[in-house]
Amino acid sequence: MTTLPVPEFQHRTVLLDEAVDALDLAGPRADGIYVDGTFGRGGHSRLILSRLGARARLVGFDKDLQAIATAEQIADARFQIVHDSFATMRASLAERGIGQVDGILLDLGISSPQVDDASRGFSFRNDGPLDMRMDTTRGVSAAEWLAVESEQTLEKVIRDYGEERFAFQIAKAIVARRAVEPISSTRQLAGIVAGAVKTREKGKDPATRTFQAIRIFINKELEDLETGLSQAYACLAPGGRMAVISFHSLEDRMVKRFFAAKANVAQPDRRLPIRAADLPQPEMKLLAKMKPSDAEIDANPRARSAVMRVALRLPGAAG
């Protein structure tokens, strides 16, 4: 694999101490096996490694080649990086001789370097090629997708993934513009959306929801999250902890529902002759829901929408 240079873009890791604290690395757990499912620029991984014992292992995952290049600079025999989605966790860990792990951290969304690098096409704030792929070695770019997708599918993606009430108007405008010229830059797309969206919340750019929707779709973020949560649970040892940081309501809703389904069990009719030992048992215990402090948000406004949920896999839970 070719090692790429890492551009100099600043990244502030959201809920850094809180997320690593949630994994409970004290005592004998310090020599366990852990997963950072979204390495990014390595803020969480580096802090985890600083608290782990000499016999511990940490496996990181990321789809972004620049994140992989950053990870390869960590000279620590306890650490390994996997160039793939955390949705492949179970098979990827098995390839490395790992069956179960003691803790898993997922920090969802995109990193500041991805947003700030105009060449990646994630942001409308600076003009750049309309790519939006986290893994530029796979899949189609946003520009390629916009060039061929039907108006109906464009509308559905923008509405469902962006929660955009002007999805119909935006999709119609995209189809009209691409009939005249290719839509290949972020500034072009932002302009099209601005022309189609007549009103917007104060302080929010008209293109925000559309760019979010296309990015989520292009990178299969919700599909990866659905698969990844199940994979993570399957890999988590009894007594192990899972912490997930999300940045928009679609992600957080999925995490909330997944944890709730594992923590809450339907109780049978009390009139039925069922022994206590045969009653359904919860598989996880909900430990925390946390948001960044006011001080963190002041220092890093991008942390404002973050929500972290933490759950414990209970002993005796089904595999």
212 annotated ligand binder: no
21 annotated ligand binder: no
Degrees to nearest 5, angle at CA 43 with 13 and 6: 100
Please state, in angstroms and rounded to a whole number, the distance separating the CA atoms of residues 247 and 251: 7
> What angle, 0 to 180 degrees and rounded to 10, lies between the N-to-C axes of helices 208-218 and 221-235?
50
Q: Which position has the token pair 């000279």?
A: 75
For the chain, the distance separating the N- and C-terminal CA atoms, rounded to the nearest angstrom, is 35
Degrees to nearest 5, angle at CA 149 with 64 and 183: 70
114 annotated ligand binder: yes
Structure tokens at 137: 């070695």
100 annotated ligand binder: no
44 annotated ligand binder: yes
248 annotated ligand binder: no
> What angle, 0 to 180 degrees and rounded to 10, lies between the N-to-C axes of helices 151-162 and 167-178?
140
160 annotated ligand binder: no
Annotated binding-site residues for S-adenosyl-L-methionine read 42-44, 62, 86, 107, 114
Annotated binding-site residues read 42-44, 62, 86, 107, 114
